[in-house]
Structure 1
């Protein structure tokens, strides 16, 4: 082929040979021969179950794009993720109209991956919060007794009678099916004027530990999480981290369907997931509730990408 000067293939990005981008360590999973022994991205692009307008089904794509654009080097503690390989398993194919069928597909897809790859560290890209029910069901099937640390402005224990399975019901479903025990669920960042007294009472009756935003403001979040981990350390085999991005203040996460003031600061969330990533019992994380159609310059997807990178950085240091 003739080599023309100063021409390159269309769409080829600028390459600085001194910088490794995260896109370079994300590799498409080999479904036929490859074994996933480390972190693996998997998308659950469901948003039809949202009780409000939501384009969360587009979020796996925008989070991947955001991830790929950052460098692998963390200057604050001189850590480089370039030695990692992150597998990308793709996205679960959703049913066009049937929410329960879509949830069943999420469960079956995740279940199959766990069977084939018991050491898989899932990095789940939602989708709305309804995907938490089947994803944690599959996690619990393969990990034994499971604890969940949920970052969220909402309890997400709405009743199932008024609207069926929605993005407001995943933890109600997990508790009612006894997938998890209430005493092994910790909710962080629950916010004023975002819930009801009845749902608080339901969560407390089930033994759920609730840390409101006032608790987060009054005490370092890592202190709360130390309490949370110790609370369940002897009772569970593995811990799953669920991050609903609306836990973050609306000024820093404008692309959430249920934005609101008074939420967590992004840096506090980074500290939180770093603390949890360094905990050996933590075996998976999900990021949900981003609507790229209402976001500004993908700010919320970029924030979600940082949440994942901070988590992976801590996991890499834990596994040294």
Structure 2
């Protein structure tokens, strides 16, 4: 006998509403991966500051359950689409280098085997971008990077090994990406050493400071960045460090600070990047759900996913 009104999970449901987690389906390993796919990378032991970023992939997925698939401004609805979730890469408990090997191997397999897949990689701290972009380059040829960040992430390797401050230094020193093909947007005052700014410029990295972003529309800078890379690379990888946002928008970032992007600007950039066929992967990093306030930062990350993915489904 069934007891009336009793459900396994008695949350309110509305027959007219489809949420993003309703279209998010676990990948069975057999179905071809085409278009955006979710991949979690729960690594935070390589952070140079206290971080619970390993909890972020789960938190972002949970936030996708809060929002509908309908985009009212463009009158688009993803309700009839399917967004496949590949799950999380299993992390070694203590060995950071082993974890980087696993990330590179997983991303390279995904991008080599499924040429039309667009990984949406949920980190994790920013150290994951080095192995992830390395793996991506194996499957997608010459890669350009558009990096949203308050920091250059070009720290030397000798003082602390591979960390969330070194991914782009590692990419340059291993020859994975040329400096001329890295574009950094949102670099902030009092967040970087002079030596690392000089290193970026010496390597040919394009740097847009927050002052430059404030004086122009961020979407203009993004479009300019795409056009610069269009004739130079086979594919663009977008890396979004959430501390590019002002601390008022992203309290769940380990390295919060004032003077950053507004969430609206970052969401507009994500939608623009979603429309660009040359963009072949996105990572979202540096969210610590254990220090977030009402999941504010994870909510923005979910909106980045939705804004980007809606343009590709």
TM-score (norm 2): 0.98
* 1:5 corresponds to: 4
Q: Secondary structure at the match of 1:267?
A: helix
Shift of 1:26: 0.4
Distance 1:35 1:213 in 2: 40
Distance 2:3 2:273 in 1: 51
Distance 2:95 2:21 in 1: 33
* 2:70 corresponds to: 73
Matched, 1:244 2:241: yes
* 1:283 corresponds to: 280
Match of residue 211, structure 1, among 203, 208, 211: 208
Shift of 1:6: 2.3
Kept after mapping to 2: 8 A contact 1:49/1:128: yes
Kept after mapping to 2: 8 A contact 1:39/1:85: no
Shift of 1:7: 1.8
Distance 1:105 1:88 in 2: 18
State which drifts further: 169-178 or 113-122.
113-122
Q: Secondary structure at the match of 1:77?
A: coil
Distance 2:209 2:297 in 1: 22
Distance 2:247 2:71 in 1: 26
Give ranges in structure 2 of 5+ residues lacking alignment.
Answer: none
* 1:188 corresponds to: 185
Shift of 1:312: 1.1
Shift of 1:37: 1.2
Distance 1:278 1:130 in 2: 27
Structure ranking higher in helix proportion: 1
* 1:164 corresponds to: 161
Distance 2:282 2:81 in 1: 17
Distance 2:312 2:259 in 1: 30
* 1:24 corresponds to: 22
* 2:253 corresponds to: 256
Distance 2:241 2:179 in 1: 19
TM-score (norm 1): 0.96
Shift of 1:13: 2.4
Kindly tell me the number of residue pairs found equivalent between the two proteins: 313
Kept after mapping to 2: 8 A contact 1:35/1:116: no
CA-atom RMSD, angstroms?
0.9
Shift of 1:143: 0.7
Distance 1:77 1:88 in 2: 25
Runs of 4+ in 1 over 3 A off after TM superposition: none
Distance 1:171 1:3 in 2: 58
* 1:122 corresponds to: 119
